[in-house]
């Protein structure tokens, strides 16, 4: 077999292995039986999801609140930090980037335990507040990297021209810098939103009573067997992730 054909075969098998389970989940959400054997088409699991599973929608609301708040805050912090590091070179820059990259290699379990110990030490009650803080913490490095990559192609002569025309620092910031960074900022927000809405491990450690998010709710539902309702929920999550992926892809084109 030629090397090119072999590589193509490996790629195809990998894609099949990755996407086949997702296809099965979507297919089984329309299965009339609870067993994994196809018995006929039905929409009753979606009807049950919308009419009976109130706890699911409560968890989804919690996830949405946490994702929107944490994504907004982490994107704002990441954007301002990336701008500061890009324009004002410092001897501490390498150290700051090293600390920024650490969350990428530290296991989520360690981050979750560390945050739980921190909140316990300061006697912070676990709930949506602690979940939001945790999500902001692990999202900031991603937003910093995306915005900073957008800044690599930034033409600094635009800044000089704005100053020559009498603009103040604040006017340069919100009329010149921010508009040019919009694609990167939107991409950073969408990535942070996806990471937050999908997180389970870290959230599991810092969640409290009444602050169940959607991933935790799904986990509690499948502990005693996979319910077809879970397949329906998963189908909505897959569809939402694909939609965000398409939007994110549009903005990422302008970053790299």
Q: How many domains does the chain have?
A: 1
Average of per-residue pLDDT values in the chain: 86
pLDDT of 28 strictly over 70? yes
Mean pLDDT of 138-146: 93
pLDDT of 1 strictly over 60? no
**d(Cα 68, Cα 56) in Å, to the nearest integer?**
18
Q: Could you give phi then psi for residue 68, rounded to 5 degrees? A: -65, -45
Question: Is there a domain that residue 165 lies in?
Answer: yes
Q: Could you give phi then psi for residue 31, rounded to 5 degrees? A: -80, 135
**d(Cα 86, Cα 158) in Å, to the nearest integer?**
15
CATH number of the domain encompassing residue 239: 1.10.3720.10
- CB burial string 33-53: b at 16+ within 10 A, e below: eeeeeeeeeeeebbeebeeeb
What is the SS3 assignment for 207?
A: coil
Question: Is there a domain that residue 181 lies in?
Answer: yes
Residue range 47-103, pLDDT digits in tens: 888 888 888 889 989 999 999 999 999 999 999 999 888 877 777 777 888 888 888
Mean pLDDT of 204-226: 85
Q: Is residue 165 within 8 Å of residue 108, measured between CB atoms?
A: no
Question: Is there a domain that residue 219 lies in?
Answer: yes
Question: Is there a domain that residue 34 lies in?
Answer: no
Tokens encoding 75: 């994107």
Q: DSSP letters along 32-58, please?
A: SSSSSS---B--HHHHHHHHT-HHHHH
Mean pLDDT of 6-18: 89
Structural domain span for residue 244? 53-255
Residue range 114-130, pLDDT digits in tens: 999 999 999 999 999 99
Question: Is there a domain that residue 21 lies in?
Answer: no
Question: Is there a domain that residue 104 lies in?
Answer: yes
What are the C-alpha distances in Å from 114 to residues 117, 121, 198, 202, 206? 5, 11, 20, 10, 10
CA dihedral of residues 65, 246, 195, 130 (deg, nearest 10): -10
Residues 6+ apart with CB under 8 A from 69: 132
Question: Is there a domain that residue 236 lies in?
Answer: yes
Residue by residue, what is the 3-state secondary structure of 97-113? HHHHHHHHHCCHHHHHH
Question: Is there a domain that residue 128 lies in?
Answer: yes
Q: Which residues pair with 26 in a beta bridge?
A: none
Which pLDDT belongs to residue 121?
A: 93
């Amino acid at each position: 077999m030629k090397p090119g054909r072999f590589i193509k075969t490996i790629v195809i098998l990998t894609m099949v292995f990755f996407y086949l389970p997702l296809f099965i989940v979507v297919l089984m959400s329309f299965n009339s039986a609870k067993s994994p054997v196809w018995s006929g088409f039905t929409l009753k699991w979606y009807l049950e999801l919308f009419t009976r599973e109130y706890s699911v929608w409560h968890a989804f609301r919690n996830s949405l609140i946490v994702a929107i708040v944490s994504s907004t805050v982490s994107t704002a912090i990441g954007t301002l930090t990336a701008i500061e590091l890009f324009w004002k070179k410092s001897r501490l820059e390498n150290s700051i980037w090293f600390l920024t990259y650490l969350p990428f290699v530290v296991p989520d379990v360690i981050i979750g335990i560390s945050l739980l110990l921190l909140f316990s030490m300061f006697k912070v009650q676990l709930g949506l507040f602690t979940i939001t803080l945790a999500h902001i913490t692990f999202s900031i490095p991603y937003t910093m990297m995306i915005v900073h990559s957008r800044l690599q192609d930034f033409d600094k002569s635009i800044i000089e021209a704005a100053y020559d025309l009498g603009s103040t620092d604040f006017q340069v910031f919100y009329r010149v810098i921010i508009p040019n960074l919009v694609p990167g900022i939107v991409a950073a927000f969408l990535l942070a939103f996806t990471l937050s809405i999908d997180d389970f491990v870290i959230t599991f450690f810092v969640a409290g009573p009444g602050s169940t998010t959607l991933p935790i709710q799904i986990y509690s539902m499948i502990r005693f067997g996979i319910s077809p309702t879970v397949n329906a929920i998963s189908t909505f999550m897959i569809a939402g992730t694909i939609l965000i992926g398409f939007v994110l892809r549009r903005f990422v084109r302008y970053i790299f």
